[in-house]
Amino acid sequence: MSRSETSLLPQLHEPRNPGMPLDMDRVMRATANRSAIERRAATLPGRRSVKKDYQAAWLARAISCIDLTTLSGDDTPGRVARLCAKARQPVRADILEALGLEGLTTGAVCVYHDMIAPAVEALEGTGIPVAAVSTGFPAGLSPFHLRVAEITESVKAGAREIDIVISRRHVLTGDWQALYDEMRAFREACGEAHVKAILATGELGTLQNVARASMVCMMAGADFIKTSTGKESVNATLPVSLVMMRAIREYYEETGYRVGYKPAGGISKAKDAVTYLALVKEELGDRWLRPDLYRFGASSLLGDIERQLEHHVTGAYSASWRHATS
């Protein structure tokens, strides 16, 4: 991956996953060998080390795949405007120029429903989509009709991507039909907006449940499957990511439709971002290393990546407070 390949990635038009009828035989065949998965995941951080220009290229690719996020109770239009400015110019201009990466942006900006309008205004003309969390985020326990209505309102407000949360109880009780019907209704409410299904994997109990929930959501038409809300006690992990990526690969091999992947929560260091990208490359291939099929859900990751890129260009590390995102 050269540095020039990372700048201004062309917009690719992947056929959207239309979903399929719920196949219970296929769902119940989804299993996960925990010990083997954990052994495989444990090998990644130590052996996937890239340096110098190669590291800079991987980190720039990571930036292009970030959903730059603010999901705080004290969010304001001003904070969102600053976040959007950072999405438009994620790294200092002179650093990008030195790297030959002028025009690099993040993949999207992710906010609550009330902050969609200021985000859309701040990003006008950039092509950077606004993503909105929805369906009673983060617990997903509000009345069903209100969750569907929230999606509709967010799309009307200008969100081009909707991050929904599934009802964890459907997974924990094995009610796969209910999960499928719920996800299908959310997909239909999104219309042309792409839908990311948040599984909240830290609350699903087992890796087998993660595998089955991933498959059901893809069958119901999810454009992305996403690990977490970022509010759980356990968020994105490499073992969970391995299970979800293999479900995506299997779904693609069976249907011909590519579904995206988004790990979220707990990924705050540049070296961790490179590890996740390496796993994507190994399990899914280069096509998934683009923002239409891969995203990081992160708020502080960008700051550490910017520090690493500044060090690559200047040879010196700056203080982390200089790279605040909002």
Q: What is the pLDDT of residue 325?
A: 63
Give the range of the structural domain holding residue 236, as residue numbers without chain letter.
19-323
Q: What DSSP string describes 291-324?
A: TTTB-EEESSHHHHHHHHHHHHHHS-PPPGGGG-
Q: What is the pLDDT of residue 285?
A: 97
| Segment 127-161, tens digit of pLDDT | 999 999 999 999 999 999 999 999 999 999 999 99
Total domains in the fold of the chain: 1
Q: What is the pLDDT of residue 237?
A: 96
> What is the 3-state secondary structure of 57-87?
HHHHHHHHCEEEECCCCCCCHHHHHHHHHHH
Q: What is the pLDDT of residue 50?
A: 80
Q: What is the pLDDT of residue 322?
A: 63
Q: What is the pLDDT of residue 320?
A: 63
Taking each helix axis as running N to C, give the angle between helix 176-190 and helix 144-157, from 0 to 180 degrees, rounded to the nearest 10.
30
Is 103 a member of any domain?
Answer: yes
Is 140 a member of any domain?
Answer: yes
Is 4 a member of any domain?
Answer: no
For the beta sheet containing 260-262, the strands, ordered from the edge strand earlier in sequence to the opposite edge, are 260-262, 224-226, 194-198, 161-165, 130-133, 108-111, 66-69, 296-298
Q: What is the pLDDT of residue 321?
A: 58
Is 298 a member of any domain?
Answer: yes
Is 13 a member of any domain?
Answer: no
Q: What is the CATH number of the domain that holds 306?
A: 3.20.20.70
Residue 228: strand, helix, or coil: coil
Q: What is the pLDDT of residue 45?
A: 82
Is 167 a member of any domain?
Answer: yes
Q: What is the pLDDT of residue 3?
A: 38
Kind of pairing, strands 296-298 and 260-262? unpaired
Question: Which amino acid would we find at residue 223?
Answer: D
Q: Give the residue ranges of the chain where pLDDT is below 50.
A: 1-10
Q: Which residue has the tokens 């369906």?
A: 135
Is 12 a member of any domain?
Answer: no
**Catalytic residue IDs:** 163, 226, 262
Is 264 a member of any domain?
Answer: yes
Token pair listed for 188: 């239909």
pTM for the whole thing?
0.93
